Amino acid sequence: MMKLNIRAHDLGVKGEQNIVSRLDELGLDGVQLVTYKCLEDVSYTPASMSPERAQQLNDVFRTAGKNIPLIGAYFNPVHPDVSKIQNGMDVFKDHLRLAKSLGCDIVGSETGSYNGDKWTYHPDNRTDKACRRVIEAFGELCSYAGELGVNVGMEGAFGHVCYDVSTLDKVIKAIGSPNIRIIFDLYNYLDISNIDRMYDILDEGLQTFGDRICVFHIKDCVIADGTLRQCGVGNGIFDYDRIISEIRKVVPDAELVLEGTTGDDIPFAVKHLKDRI
């Protein structure tokens, strides 16, 4: 059976006790956990979280019957500032070490952009050099994950190095690790230039990655002034009757994660999706 989750830092509260209480209020199964965005005592620096602190959080979630399908430790592997790449790699490795203590075995990131902290399109993203840099960085993380018995989640996006399904697939095959899982975000692959192919892209992703997809990010958008603008799920152009139906055929026990739906939009999005799953 599918589970409906949300990014913890989209809930508008911090601390594990407040998070699980809010999950109960909303009828949600769990969270995508980004520790440094939802815990006051954790920062985006190496060794910021101890194994004991990780276990403490896990105990609260487990007692509450809540799920953590993915740990986010997003970093930009092609950032022009190499010190930021190294910090990101170190933080990611920290989370790989802590993953089991946190009650999850997958740590994920997107594949980055030469535009640095903006994470937006840059022409150099679509080069062989960019792919080689992503392969090198994620290859190192996958080797480390393999030693620990955990997994690395990789997520593509239109403005990033792995800008479509086939490029992400090419990079994953080049890394050649059994410890790779896929974070599939349909909205991420869309642009005004390909919005009419939305469901073709969904089908391509499902057929290419299949049950290696560990999480589906759930978003929605409207078209305004010739661009896509994200909105609360259920208030845009995404046909979730169709999307959920297609996902169910390939990953019947999918982990769905609301991403970017916040505030008063959350209860409506939860109902909109629960009516379909």
pTM, two decimals, is: 0.97
Instruction: Residue 35: give the domain boundaries.
Output: 3-274
Beta strand pairing status for 180-185 and 220-224? Answer: unpaired
What Å distances lie between residue 101 and 17, 52, 56, 193, CA to CA?
A: 17, 8, 9, 43
pLDDT tens digits, one per residue of 101-124: 999 999 999 999 999 999 999 999
CATH code of the domain covering residue 216: 3.20.20.150
Where does the pLDDT of residue 59 fall: very low under 50, low under 70, confident under 90, or very high at 90 and above?
A: very high
pLDDT tens digits, one per residue of 75-101: 999 999 999 999 999 999 999 999 999
Where does the pLDDT of residue 201 fall: very low under 50, low under 70, confident under 90, or very high at 90 and above?
A: very high
Number of domains in the chain: 1
121 near 113, Cβ under 8 Å?
yes
